[in-house]
Structure 1
Amino acid sequence: MASALSQFEHSFYIGSYMSGILYGVNLVMYFLTLQGLLRKNNHNSARSRKFFAIYSTILLLLLTVDISVNAVWGELMWINGRNGPGGVPGFIATQTSAWYQTMGSTSVVCMIFMGDALLLYRLYIIYGSRYIVITFPVLAYLAAFSLAIIELVLAGKPGGNFFHGKTINFGTPYYTITIALNIIITVLIVSRLLKLGKAVARALGRDSARMYTSVASMLIESAAPYSFVGIMFLIPYALGNPIAISFGQVWAKLTCIAPQLIVLRVVTGRAWGREVITQAQSNVEFLVNGRPVAHASGIELQSHGGYSHGTATLGETATEKWNGSTKSLGSS
């Protein structure tokens, strides 16, 4: 018992410490997102900018609730509860189901489903807006949502505990489905991006295409770190090991950071969108001063002096070849 208690305390402390660092990372990304949304040259529509601002703000508020609850619970456990009835073990046994703990757990569940919803939408976009691709993931999403509600109800009852009893019987399949869903989406997105990456590299050239085809961009677009840490949490959680609390806290923060990274890429125009995906597969050749530079229509060619939507700038003349016919696009 003493060993398990010691493991729990160490894990909770390490998880809380890492959570504080990750909260700072998310704050930076949040303000970078707002800064990008407020720029005059932002390419997103007014409706999209409003959605991203609200979405990011809700994520930050939910993460703040989670961080605050863990901070308060840790203080009460190690300071107020140390001299209370039963000491720290007594506090853990009686206060795990406290109302504010349930509120913190609910905030994490909300972040998970907001993040997964964004991943499902990105999957839909990256696969060319085909509903058939997201049919199974959506069913898994709904099943996980049902199990999450049951888990929250059981954990919030007097004597309830996220890591013991009936709660874990529903928590294990819930987290299994959620993390499996993340892995499936990650694999689908990465495989699709690897395939499209070759087309984009041909279209934009290796240097200009790097922001779409680099390893970092694929990891962010697919939320791969989120899935990886989810596996690290699920294994000890299913085994009832106290170290699960440490991985769980880090994973909970990634449920906010992963979608926020994607939003930041979308806002700054570095994410895969409908235009890039469609144009990467089109058979369009751009010529600058008679030399081919890309196979795409309307893609911003940042490495050639500020191209935007097939229009030449900096005094260069652009010629567009579409299925064999050539026409001049003019020069600035």
Structure 2
Amino acid sequence: MADAPPPDDVWLEQSRMNGMLIGSITWGIFFQLTAQCLVSLNRSRGGRMYQIPMGRKLALNAYVISTFLLATVGFACNARYTQEIWIDRRGPGISPTILIQAEFDFWINRLAIDCYYVMGWIMDVLLLHRAFVVWNYNPLVVMLMSSLYVSTVGTSIAVMVFAQRHAIFSHLGVQLAYLSLSVSTNIVFTLLVAGRLFAIRNRIRDTLGAEYSSTFSSVASTLVESSSLYSFFGIIFIVSFALQSNVQNLIFLAISHIQGIAQLLIILRVADGREFDRRAATLTAAGHSNSIAFTPPTQVDIMRRSSPGEAVDIHELATPRENRRGRRISDERDAGKRGSFLSVDSRHRKAESSEDWSGTGASTSHTERTEHV
């Protein structure tokens, strides 16, 4: 037992192996969601709530396929590197601890890290696009999110450069900066988009009622839930990395898969037609919050939409003002009919009464004459 490594090294090996197992589980979930997204995006029109535009469908398919390929290559490289640590390169004087600490000395491990970083770039582009759409390309939001994105890409490139110089991964301060920027981008995106959606929900609820605002609450809840998944594990990873704790090994091989899972949950909403598009953002932009109105069709719209030979009740589908005016005219007509009926009836009764009076007078005179005789 004299050759046994110290306890800290054993914990390093255990955390690395368990991290690989967790990464395998998260990759399996990522694979399942990828398949669901591809099926939902490419199913026939009859099986969906609405038809996705072709340009958006191609972009989403390219996103799903590219992120899955990058995640798969990175996962395969990590699996191969794990095999080299415990089987292929292990020997006298070469323990798994030494191989784990010198992870940047293996090109296959550097390839895995590069794949996950490029995957992160693509996923952050989706975040930027969603934030821009929800905020209707507000200049301040565009500047803020673009600055975070450029900073994230720059720090990740710096990590790649240091990796080529065989640096120790856990000692890279730029890696900590990259992790902080990546998680910050996700948190800022969640706050901006969820806050915007809840604000729009309140406006619509005050204007149209609660039944029309439930969609915005559902979309915001999904964004918060999916983004909080990555933010939670990202914060744990940042703290453990800053403290140089081996807990980081439990999350490091799964963190990119978790981020991809969070994004695919949003893609599934888009595929099902439950999303917030730019038209809604335009209608609810600042200064036009009260412009949303659902008005009944006018007579012109009815005449346009009605097919030849089709009977259309204009008064039944007219605007409220026209309905009120139509009802008023109808009431006046009814009143006129009732008035004319009453006048005819009164004249008829007068004629009958005059006949009665004349008949009574004649009989009275005849009686008087008879009595006189």
**After TM superposition, is the score higher than 0.5?**
yes
Between 108-117 and 250-259, the greater mean CA deviation after superposition: 250-259
Match of 1:54 in 2: 62
Q: How far did residue 64 of structure 1 move?
A: 0.4
- Check the 8 A contact 2:223/2:266 in 1, yes or no: no
Q: How far did residue 161 of structure 1 move?
A: 2.4
Q: Which amino acid aligns with 1:102?
A: R
Query: % of aligned pairs identical?
Result: 22
1:228 aligns with 2:236: no
**CA separation of 1:62 and 1:205: change in aligned 2, threshold 3 A:** farther
1:163 aligns with 2:167: no
**CA separation of 1:79 and 1:94: change in aligned 2, threshold 3 A:** same
1:12 aligns with 2:16: yes
- Check the 8 A contact 1:66/1:108 in 2, yes or no: yes
Q: 2 CA distance for matches of 1:254 and 1:325?
A: 56
Q: Which has the higher strand share?
A: 1
Q: CA RMSD in A?
A: 2.9
Q: What is the aligned counterpart of 2:294 among 262, 285, 297?
A: 285
Q: Which amino acid aligns with 2:292?
A: N
Match of 1:311 in 2: none
- Check the 8 A contact 2:204/2:212 in 1, yes or no: no
**CA separation of 1:205 and 1:229: change in aligned 2, threshold 3 A:** farther
Q: Which has the higher helix share?
A: 2
Match of 1:35 in 2: 39
1:89-108 residue pairs with structure 2 within 5 A? 89-108=97-116
Q: How far did residue 36 of structure 1 move?
A: 1.8
1:108-127 residue pairs with structure 2 within 5 A? 108-127=116-135
1:1-332 residue pairs with structure 2 within 5 A? 2-41=6-45, 42-158=50-166, 160-164=167-171, 168-201=172-205, 209-214=213-218, 216-220=221-225, 223-279=227-283, 281=289, 282-285=291-294
Q: Counterpart of 2:269 in 1: which secondary structure?
A: helix
Q: How far did residue 325 of structure 1 move?
A: 6.8
Q: How far did residue 231 of structure 1 move?
A: 1.0
- Check the 8 A contact 1:98/1:156 in 2, yes or no: no
- Check the 8 A contact 1:319/1:326 in 2, yes or no: no
Unaligned residue ranges in structure 1 (runs of 5+): 288-316, 328-332
Q: 1 CA distance for matches of 2:322 and 2:270?
A: 33
Superposed CA offset, 1:209-261 (max 9, x none): 5454136423257x222222211111111221121121222322122222222
Q: Counterpart of 1:283 in 2: which secondary structure?
A: coil
Number of equivalenced pairs: 292
Q: Counterpart of 1:174 in 2: which secondary structure?
A: helix
- TM-score calculated relative to the size of structure 1: 0.78
Q: 2 CA distance for matches of 1:95 and 1:211?
A: 47
- Check the 8 A contact 1:97/1:161 in 2, yes or no: no
- Check the 8 A contact 2:190/2:223 in 1, yes or no: no
- Check the 8 A contact 1:286/1:319 in 2, yes or no: no
Match of 1:312 in 2: none
Superposed CA offset, 1:252-288 (max 9, x none): 212222222222211221122223444564431367x
Structure with bigger gyration radius: 2
Q: Counterpart of 2:294 in 1: which secondary structure?
A: strand
Superposed CA offset, 1:125-144 (max 9, x none): 11122232120221121122
Q: 2 CA distance for matches of 1:95 and 1:182?
A: 28
Q: How far did residue 95 of structure 1 move?
A: 4.1
**CA separation of 1:135 and 1:85: change in aligned 2, threshold 3 A:** same
Q: Counterpart of 1:270 in 2: which secondary structure?
A: coil
Unaligned residue ranges in structure 2 (runs of 5+): 297-313, 324-373
Q: 1 CA distance for matches of 2:266 and 2:204?
A: 19
Q: Counterpart of 1:83 in 2: which secondary structure?
A: coil
**CA separation of 1:104 and 1:277: change in aligned 2, threshold 3 A:** same
Q: How far did residue 84 of structure 1 move?
A: 4.9
Q: 1 CA distance for matches of 2:109 and 2:236?
A: 23
Q: 1 CA distance for matches of 2:292 and 2:10?
A: 63
